[in-house]
A and B are shown apart, each in its own frame.
Chain A
Amino acid sequence: MTATTKNLPESAAKPGATPGLDAATASTPAAAVTPAARLSLHNSLGGLRRMKAAPAISAFVVIALILMAIFAPLLAPHDPLAMTPAMRLKPSSDMYLLGTDAFGRDILSRIIYGARVSLTIGLGVAIVSILIGLPLGLLSGFFKTLDAILMRVMDGLMAIPSVLLAIAVVAVSGASMWSLIIAITIPEIPRVVRLVRSVVLSAREELYVEAAISLGSSLPRILRRHLVPNTIAPLIVQGTYICASAILTEAILSFLGAGIGTEIPSWGNIISEGRMYFQLKPSLIYWPGLVLSACVLAVNLLGDTARDMLDPKMKQRGGH
């Protein structure tokens, strides 16, 4: 049997065992689902989404945040780095809508600019982890020996708590946008590899793949024409969840002081700087915290929406 419980998706083959579920899966294997339960699965991610408005609201929030990041210089009322010592820790006013921080910098402007770091990292991690994970998963699904080795490596990576792993990478490589993307990507890769692998394992049993093999299609052709298209829908969903989790991890790293320097504002490092003055001015933490939470929530809900729209079957593969 396989090495850690993270492996449960494979060990679903255990006779009589409840088919396993991935770490954060709330979905239930569709194979074992009664019609009534299947209907419910459709809503397994909960009430927020059940209101029809949730996808629209979350899409709106995400688009608004993207626009905010792109047009930060136009939207920000102040220079996010300009320190005005006379205006330290001021409350909200017409001049500073959300007040100022301990250096007299405008919090609203810092939050607006902070969207750049968070969204770049969220998107960057999602893309890089798919770029690395997709080929590894495809090969793993096709070559038994490689699969055995690769899966042990993935088990090992998954055994390291993601924040610690990211912290260690940042500690040796220094904190820059790229090193953060790499650091946060490494723990996400196993999730992609496993997902792609499971898609390949089930798809290669299909008749059309068998037909392609008997017709003498080359492996690259089979992968490209028949297997990769199967992975696209689940990867879009998984990519969205990875984006949300990467934004959270970046904020945690920044909060711990292992993130990007405060000369580039990020929601995490605004909160980190606000910690010292929390008792004096809690809004230093609440405002960036609120925007951060709203962003992660919106991206997560978008992932749920995408999952339902793209392929109801994919729940069995353990999306989120």
Chain B
Amino acid sequence: MKKMLSFLFLTALFAHSYAGGYLVSLQGIRQMAMGHTGVGIAMDASNVFFNPAGLSYLKSKLAVSIGVSILWDRAHYQNTDTWRQYQTDSPTSTPLDCYAAYKLNDRLSVGLGFYTPFGSRVEWPEDWTGRTLVTSVDLKSVFFQPTVSYKLRDWLSLGGGLIIASGAVNLQRADLLTPGAKVQLDKRGITRLGYKLSLMVKPLERLTLGIDYRSEIDMEAEGGDASFIGFPASIFREPSSPLQTADDRFDASLPLPAELSVGLSYRVGQKWLLAGDLNYTYWSAYDAFRVHFQTNQAASFITPRNWENTFIYRLGAQYLCTPRLTVRLGYYCDQSPSPDSYWSPETPTTDNDGFTAGFSYAISKRLACDLAYLYVNGNERSVHNKPSGFYGDVYAQAHVFGLGITFNL
């Protein structure tokens, strides 16, 4: 089990960003197929993420959901003056999510989740226009979340969890001082705590409402490694130079923003389930990217981000074709939190339309396999980061295949 866990851990580290900001919405294969709705559904063990309150509505004694996604994404950039075009060449990644829920009694359930809600892996070409801003970003986070759910009434349950967030960041950018020079910031093993609170209500037999709140977690990287690679040695000896050492330490922080979600689902007849979610993400926490170098203090920088809180609108539907086959469809629309005038290629965000489809096939009463496909169309936008002088047109695309198994005892 220990081996298994560490394997899972490694796999989960490779999480991509294609949603607005560096938020990843691939937290449950079934939900993903339904436009990533799920706050108002007691679906399966992945309620640990979507709405822990729903765990106590699950019928099985033990529920387990494991999902893996294969994610391919690409951001495209063209400069409107030089007419040059570049695209990210980020490797395919496979974020992984595991959830388990156990019913202690009729009212009380406990759960455990292991998932990757934030992450970003972006690789721009080494010679690209914005290379002094970024050539490569690898932002990883893994949330480990023990959860409880308590059913107060048949129509009302509460849920909550403690989030133990672990993260790592690696950021590289070119420096123009001399050809081939680059700055690398690297910090591993950042651990911070957060929490989750949620509520699920069933006012009518066919209607379920949910509210879920996840707290902000500020991933502070203190004393990370800052390497000034390929710089001429002379620059570190010049007394007035901002750079005094090639191997420095840095302090920085990146907020993983709070999110408030409300969702509902409605059963139509015996076969249809319709769902709608609204996520409100407090991206305004990301007002600036601040990097402080401990020795090369004069090279410290603050670049304004001025991100704005965003809404994500999600719609999903599920249709029970046969007792074994369930088909799902969905759509979501996800705003970019970054204003045009502060847009930065570290997180190449766009306004996204996500189209989803998928199905579950019940192999037995206890075991089902889930498949999902997500296509993200990152709408073209024209950006001009005034402080840095970076501008151009950007669009993005992503294809995600999700494969999961759901086990109910």
Q: Do A and B bind each other?
A: no
